[in-house]
Amino acid sequence: MWAAVIFLALLHAVIVFAGFIAPYDPVGQNRDLPFVPPTRLHFIDAQGFFHIRPFIYQSTARPQSLYEYEESGVRAYPIQLFVRGPEYKIAGLFSSRIHLFSVEGPAQIFLAGSDNYGRDQFSRILYGGRISLGAGLLATAISLALGLLLGTFSGFYGRWVDESVMRTAELFLVLPWLYLLLAVRAFLPLHISPIQTFCLLVVVIGSVGWARPARLVRGIVLTAKTRKYVVASRGFGASDQHILRRHVLPHTYGVLLTQAALLVPQYVIAEVTLSFLGLGLSEPLPSWGNLLANLQQYNVLVSYWWMFAPALVLVVFSLGYLAVADRILKQLQSITV
Amino acid sequence: MRRLAWLAALVVAFGPNSHSVVSPQSPQPGEELQITDNEVGHYGGSLVVAQPTEPKTLNPVTAVDVRSREVIGRMMADLIHINRDSQKTEPSLAKSWTASLDGRVFTLRLRRGLRFSDGQPFNADDVVFSFQVYLDEKIHSPQRDLLIVGGKPIGVQKIDSYTVRFTLPQPYAAAERLFDSLAMMPRHLLEKAYREDRFTQLWNINTSPVEIAGMGPFRLKQDVPGQRIVLERNPYFWKVDTKKNRLPYLDELVFLVVGNEDAQVIRFQAGDTDIMSRVNAENYALLSRDAQNRGYELFDLGPSLEYNFFLFNLNDLKGASASKIGPKSAWFADLRFRQAVSFAIDREAIVKLVYAGRAVPLWGNVSPSNKLWMDQSLPHPARSLDHARALLKSADFSWRSDGRLLDRQGRAVEFSVVSSSSNNQRTKMATIIQDDLSKLGMDVHVVPLEFRALLDRVFQTFDYEAAVMGLGGGDADPNPEMNVWLSSGSTHLWHLGETKPATDWEAQIDQLMQKQMIELNYDRRKRLYDQVQEIIASKVPFVFLATPNILAGAKKNLANFKPAILEPTTLWNVEELYFRQGSGASAGAKR
């Protein structure tokens, strides 16, 4: 349990501090270096001496070839820590130029290779995570807030409120959300700014998924409100608000937490799907879906294995969340039993 | 032997799915056949080619899309043909022709004794009928525009059963090229429907094969909607090789529907198809890696005639788009702004990153492969951001402290570029341009759109700011380009629907284009067209980017395969293709 939580926390921290950890500007093109494979880190130099500080060799294009590179072993470029590079902002607040690591020019360090335009894929994955993960988390928050609100109302007040909310929820459950998203995107004007696109993605993804949490919350509220202590406190003249806050809602928190852990990866994948289909943020801004969209081309798919790196990150990240959700669920069951 | 004949009869009886093979008629006395000088082959085999979509129609008069024309072209023949290899005209159904001294009257002599693929004879009546249909206003044939010279239609007159006279209202340069790809149609099958105004519904993809006949090397055998179209040998085709074997050599030509290029590459690698008509540079590199093992050969034919360009919306805007794009039009209309953009674009990077080096950068509308017509003296200014900045400064643009470009009124320069989402290359070009222009402080957004939506915006609603597009590829001659450069042209993309030229230089282009159209002398015509190219290059209505090489692939044992840069690049001499025996049977033969 804790391993997964710590891992997830680290992953999120890395993505929040993307600007600091990424060595390069995610949209900076190096037109002489398209599709460079991941840079190899060396510890042992040509003379056979061991270095504690890893170093790299510059990748240069092999003459008369297409996108093939070799290490020019002439000069070693040691990895440097805390170097000045392109300006960035952390959480949109602090701006800085200090990067965790980099190498001296003209060598470039591409930990996850470079893409068609010679952009550093490692930096793009980190920056892309800000968008994909941000969209996932915010959309989850929206879904859960809506679910909690509507589920509570529905369960607590019953009758026609319950009927109408639950029927609407069923409608949303059967909705083919992907097509809905495609339709919504198609209605929008030609060009909307990246921030608008992002907000739109979040709102649409988030508001489509409220039905399941709402049903779960309603169920819990329904059983909770018949408990003896609830009846008792009502007998003492407690207000609805008080009963909800003190006696009913605390029961839902566990379910909400599980739902959150399940929904975040699901919504991140929703964002990835939309961007993959070209409906999310547009080039050159990175998101995990945009990065994966490169794999739509057959030649990229079979020629440049490092272009799968964003998929790997996505898999690891989803597994982390699912492991946490699993643990929370087990914990909850052991409490209720 | 008798048993074999029985078997054959059985096979024929069991309908179109069976592998019945039509054998070619041996040459008859009185037939004026064309003798080809290709390597003599042998009969048999079927050639499988992939197409991204199935043809929308098999009617040569109403077909507008490339896919339909590719299939129809194999079933039909024209009077005078442009040889795709030499790019010169050569006799086709007309064995010879004479032009009057003023270049207005053309007399064509038809080959005698030819027959349509259904066995019916072909003569001047079919020619007159075909032109009647092409020129019919009610039918809206896309070919009609070509046959209207100086506002009047070409006159067609039958002299005798094998002689037809064409009269042009005014002299027209390279008039014999007009006849290329105009399919001659069978009057006996079509006239009744034409008289009943049903012509446009004829020959769609559900039409039974017996109702379709043409003069081309193949005829329709079977159409499986959404999957494939099978053509079989036309046993009466009018070409023979030097050994008197009637062409074509192939028994069958199969067009397989394979969704996109990547899927086509996979099918080609797997040996399911015999020819890749057009490959992009990245897939070409991918295919060349195991060309040896898989038994196919790849061809790089050098630059095509297609030109890719970046254009700004200079249309007269109305309504909603006017208020949205209006303020930006002022930037786009400024020549110095367009020149600055042209200076800032890294064409070498486009060639390298988009086309993997298999393309050439472009500064004018004529591709370097069009040696006859390209203006060699056109300048090729190197990329220069300093030059671009100086131009912007002279046009009263300035820069904010954070590097953003501001116009005279202090508005930040920001616009979007649309490109076709199905054309990966153009979207990549837009991404490179976006990065290049950001160095000038412009905030550019790339918006990939579905192709139809893109065309709708560019041609109808004018609701776009800038676009990356491509044109050309039909013929090397300047005349088919008229509709792009004439201010009234239907593809005058940057400013459509001009009633009179909006600028002096557009008026000048109009004059020059009209003049070259009626000029019969090549040198004088070339000088006129050179001037047009110079005006276009200096006034930058389009910012030219690059022209990709034509890349193709074919099975190694496919003989007489001579891909060309003119459409159809690979199947233009399909009647001469055959499979060499020995080294691995063709996929087609196995099918």
Determine the Cα–Cα distance for residues B515 and A56; give it in Å rounded to an integer: 64
Judge contact between A245 and A110, C-beta under 8 A. Answer: no
Interface residues of chain B, partner chain A, Cβ below 8 Å: 262-263, 265-266, 282-283, 285-286, 346, 349, 352-353, 356-357, 416, 418, 421, 424, 427-428, 431-432, 434-435, 445-449, 457, 463-464
Which of A112-121, A192-201, B43-52, B210-219 shows the lowest mean pLDDT across its residues? Answer: A192-201
Evaluate whether residue A27 is within a structural domain.
no
Task: Give the per-residue pLDDT at B9.
Answer: 47
Handedness of CA A141, A143, A149, A155 (dihedral sign): negative
**Percent of chain B scored above 70 by pLDDT?**
94
Task: Give the per-residue pLDDT at A186.
Answer: 67
Cβ neighbourhood burial of A237 (10 Å; 0-12, 13-18, 19+): exposed
> For residue B584, what pLDDT band results from cuts at 50, 70 and 90?
very low
Task: Give the per-residue pLDDT at B147.
Answer: 86
Domain that holds residue A227: 126-336
Q: Chain B residues with CB inside 8 Å of A291's CB? A: none
Q: How many distinct structural domains can be found in chain A?
A: 1
Evaluate whether residue A303 is within a structural domain.
yes
Task: Give the per-residue pLDDT at B278.
Answer: 85
Question: Cβ contact (<8 Å) for B286 and A116?
Answer: no
Task: Give the per-residue pLDDT at B412.
Answer: 92
Evaluate whether residue A29 is within a structural domain.
no
Evaluate whether residue A186 is within a structural domain.
yes
Question: pLDDT digit string (tens) for B31-89?
Answer: 999 999 999 999 999 999 998 888 888 999 988 778 888 999 999 999 999 998 888 89
Question: Cβ contact (<8 Å) for A191 and B447?
Answer: yes
Determine the Cα–Cα distance for residues A74 and A106; give it in Å rounded to an integer: 13
Task: Give the per-residue pLDDT at B113.
Answer: 93
Query: Is B507 a residue whose pLDDT tops 90?
Result: yes
Determine the Cα–Cα distance for residues A151 and A222; give it in Å rounded to an integer: 10
Q: How many CA within 13 A on the CB side of residue B153?
A: 12
Which CATH number is A189's domain given?
A: 1.10.3720.10
Question: pLDDT digit string (tens) for A87-124?
Answer: 887 766 788 888 888 888 788 899 999 998 999 999 99
Task: Give the per-residue pLDDT at A189.
Answer: 66
Task: Give the per-residue pLDDT at A190.
Answer: 61
Q: Which string of b and e fits B401-417 if b means at least 16 CB within 10 Å?
A: eeebbebeeeeebebbb
Query: How many Å separate Cα B231 from the centre of its chain?
Result: 22
Interface confidence (ipTM) of the complex: 0.81
Nearest to A190 among B282, B421, B464 (CB): B464
Three-state DSSP at B418 gives strand
Min Cα separation A126/chain B (Å): 21
> Which of B358, B416, B435, B461 best probes binding to A when mutated, by most A CB atoms within 10 angstroms?
B435
> For residue A314, what pLDDT band results from cuts at 50, 70 and 90?
very high
Output the CA torsion B299→B304→B306→B307 (10° steps): 110
Evaluate whether residue A215 is within a structural domain.
yes
Question: What integer best gives the mean pLDDT of chain A?
Answer: 85
Nearest to A117 among B266, B283, B431 (CB): B431
Question: pLDDT digit string (tens) for B303-321?
Answer: 998 899 999 999 888 776 6
Residue in chain A lying closest to B418 (CA): A190
Determine the Cα–Cα distance for residues B276 and B265; give it in Å rounded to an integer: 8
Nearest to A190 among B285, B349, B416 (CB): B416
Task: Give the per-residue pLDDT at B157.
Answer: 94
- Mean pLDDT over B283-303 rounds to 89
Rg (CA), chain B: 26
Evaluate whether residue A47 is within a structural domain.
no
- Alpha helix (H) ranges present in B227-334? 261-269, 281-289, 291-294, 319-333
Q: Chain A residues with CB inside 8 Å of B421's CB? A: 278
Q: Chain B residues with CB inside 8 Å of A297's CB? A: 262, 282, 424
Query: Is A317 a residue whose pLDDT tops 70?
Result: yes
Query: Kind of pairing, strands B359-361 and B252-257?
Result: unpaired
Query: Kind of pairing, strands A50-61 and A69-78?
Result: antiparallel
Determine the Cα–Cα distance for residues B351 and B347; give it in Å rounded to an integer: 6
Question: pLDDT digit string (tens) for A270-287?
Answer: 888 888 887 777 778 899
Evaluate whether residue A295 is within a structural domain.
yes
Evaluate whether residue A183 is within a structural domain.
yes
Which of A18-27, A174-183, B143-152, B385-394 shows the lowest mean pLDDT across its residues? Answer: A174-183
> For residue A310, what pLDDT band results from cuts at 50, 70 and 90?
very high
> For residue B211, what pLDDT band results from cuts at 50, 70 and 90?
very high
Nearest to A282 among B282, B283, B447 (CB): B447
Determine the Cα–Cα distance for residues A170 and A211; give it in Å rounded to an integer: 7
Query: Is B18 a residue whose pLDDT tops 70?
Result: no
Cβ–Cβ contact A117 with B under 8 A: yes
Task: Give the per-residue pLDDT at B316.
Answer: 86
Nearest in space to B225 (alpha carbons), one of B78, B65, B55: B55
**Percent of chain A scored above 90 by pLDDT?**
18
